[in-house]
Amino acid sequence: MPKDDDNNQRRSINPENYFIDPLARIVGDVLIGEGTALWPGAIVEGDSTRVGEDVIIMPKAHLGEDTSIGDRTFIAPGARLEKCTIGEDTFVGMDTVICEGAVVGEGSLIAHGTIVPKDMKIPNGSIVRGAPGKIEGRVTDETMEKISDVRSKLNWRKEEFKIMLKRGELFGVNDLPKRPHEIFEEYKETGERGPIEREMKFLKMFGIED
């Protein structure tokens, strides 16, 4: 496992400084930078996987083992990345596949549905499209502004979701409901009838009398 100073610094970051949706999944000792957001259904896994700062990983995107994502990169829905390196300020489009050993340069744009072949090296600021992917041009300032606008809207949504989760914690709506036997056990210990009466009414709605 890497032990360099940068990794140790990221390991100590306060979880309040990034956003992990409850329906996202992290498997292994993944390193996540400040300001990064994992949206519902996103999966990041691998003890040697690193995600930089202010990265956006959209729903159903999958980052596999030994993957490195540069700061401010945008991973669109359904993208799949495995054992590859993505430079800073890069846009990875929907349903894109980036294969093992590929290196994507900073500020690049990988178009939707592109398959980046194994070990492909992509220069900074490139537009890549196709299956297999080919370099088709250079990223313009106008394109980068459009991506920046999308990022800004998603950053607001991230803060909105954080507020919703905090509200859920305050009112207990994020908690899993208690099982019937747990309610009955509590009643035996406390004698409080309110919860058990509500449970009995609920069970009768489904025709369960016992």
* 3 has a pLDDT exceeding 60: no
How many whole angstroms separate alpha carbon 116 and alpha carbon 97? 6
Q: Among candidates 64, 55, 61, 69, which has minimal Cα distance to 154?
A: 55
pLDDT at 75: 95
Q: Which domains does the chain have, with CATH numbers?
A: 5-141 (2.160.10.10), 176-210 (no CATH)
Q: Among candidates 18, 69, 22, 71, which has minimal Cα distance to 45?
A: 69
* Per-residue pLDDT tens over the stretch 136-149: 999 998 888 888 88
Q: What percent of the chain has pLDDT above 70?
A: 76
pTM of the model: 0.69
Q: Which pLDDT band, with edges at 50, 70 and 90, does 128 fall under?
A: very high
96: burial class by Cβ within 10 Å (0-12, 13-18, 19+)? buried
Tokens standing for 32?
């996540």
pLDDT at 7: 40
Residues contacting 64, CB < 8 A, separation 6+: 45, 46, 49, 80, 81, 82, 83
**Weakest-pLDDT range from 20-29, 118-127, 153-162:** 153-162
